[in-house]
Homo-oligomer: A and B are copies of this chain.
Amino acid sequence: MATLKDLSRHLGLSVTQVSRALNGHSDVNEQTRARVQEAAKLLKYQPNISARRLVTGRSGTVGLVVPPPVSTDGHAVFVEMISGLSASFAQQQVHFLLHVINPQEDPVAVHRRLIDSAALDGFVITDPVMNDPRIAFLRKRDVPFVVHGRLGDKNDFAYFDIDNYAVAHRLTAHLTGLGHQRIAFLNGVPGRTYVESRLRGHVAALAAAGIAHDPDLHRNGMMNRNFGLTETIRLMLPGSCRPTAIIAGNMLIALGVYDALQALGLRISADVSVVAHDDHLPGATAESLFPALTTTSAPLKESWGPMASLLVQALDGQPIETLQKMGGIAFFDRASCGRL
């Protein structure tokens, strides 16, 4: 309600000086600055962001444009993402605009409108695909953005990602270390970057152990429980050359693997070793399975804070090379693996 003019009148200072005092500029007496800040608190001064953004050209608002989640699996990720981002941006004093589009709508057009009306000055991009039109557009318009994930080799933008190569490498090496040779890998849908990175890490770890990669043991699919179940059953068909260990791309797949092995009467660890990567989505924890599941661990919920920081730094004009961050992964050796 109170404006700069009110403050300046109240303090006997110019509007200019009040503004500079509050914004931490150097040419203002420390004593005056204190007075100004006190008065601001007293009069409950809140800067009018419309006025500010009009002159600075920046809105103090970032946005996320997404289609609504489809499956119930998607719900958990959606909730975590939305609430994580919103809370993180709030902490950084940045407003978070959410625009849920219907799936037919063109996301680029929405981004364009949002930019042209000067409503937003930065974006979060999730679920990037190869040659993503959103990324191309934002780059062309020179609008800051941060991507959750990466694309192939050329990543000349701010991103946060986990080291998916390392994930698969670590899991595979753990199994080869126990003497396993025939290791199945239930990976995600082909084309997604993290799926390809994991495949590379997997193959590299096999090679390091002197094992040739058998394409038949590598399966792609939607990362849900059903995929884990059906593929495990197919892998274990009598007559086929069974794997002695299975890597599950996430916890849902792992649940399906457990279901299938149990149904087939195979003992986990004793007969078949199982490992998985754990995003820490609600619903399935590695410790609560029986036997407790050995995993690499990289909680998805820990990405949103860094994502927000990166975007804010990008808004502040920091060079992109300093804004590429990888989340760490941990490894928990539990009870689901046996030595061969």
Chain A interface (Cβ < 8 Å from any Cβ of B) = 1, 44, 46-51, 53-54, 59, 61, 68-69, 72, 75-76, 78-79, 82-83, 86-87, 90, 95-102, 113, 116-119, 282-283
Contacts and interface: CB of A to CB of B under 8 A. Distances in A.
A282 B79 CA distance: 15
Nearest to A54: B50
How many copies of this chain? 2
Nearest to A86: B100
A54 B51 CA distance: 6
Contact of A95 (B83, B90, B119): B119
Contacts of A59: 50
A100 B87 contact: yes
Contacts of A75: 75-76, 79, 282
A105 to B, nearest CB: 9
Contact of A48 (B48, B51, B69, B117): B117
A25 to B, nearest CB: 20
A76 to B, nearest CB: 6
B49 A118 contact: yes
B72 A86 contact: no
Given A53-B50, A72-B283, A90 B99 contact: yes
A97 B86 CA distance: 9
Contact of A46 (B49, B50, B101, B113): B113
Contacts of A79: 68-69, 75, 78-79
Contacts of A1: 116
A149 to B, nearest CB: 21
Contact of A72 (B61, B69, B76): B76
B86 A119 contact: no
A13 to B, nearest CB: 21
Contacts of A101: 87, 90
Given A46-B113, A90-B99, 19 more contacts: A46-B116, A48-B54, A48-B118, A50-B118, A51-B54, A54-B54, A68-B79, A68-B83, A69-B79, A69-B83, A75-B75, A75-B282, A78-B83, A79-B79, A82-B98, A86-B98, A87-B100, A90-B100, A96-B97
Contact of A49 (B76, B119, B282, B283): B119
Interface centre among A72, A79, A113 (most CB of B within 10 A): A79
A317 B301 CA distance: 41
A61 to B, nearest CB: 8
B113 A87 contact: no
Contacts of A72: 76, 282-283
B86 A99 contact: yes
Contacts of A54: 48, 50-51, 54
Interface centre among A47, A98, A116 (most CB of B within 10 A): A98
Contacts of A95: 97, 99, 119
13 contacts: A48-B117, A50-B59, A50-B118, A51-B54, A54-B54, A68-B87, A72-B283, A75-B75, A83-B100, A87-B101, A90-B100, A90-B101, A96-B98
Contacts of A82: 82, 98, 100
A49 to B, nearest CB: 5
A26 B227 CA distance: 62
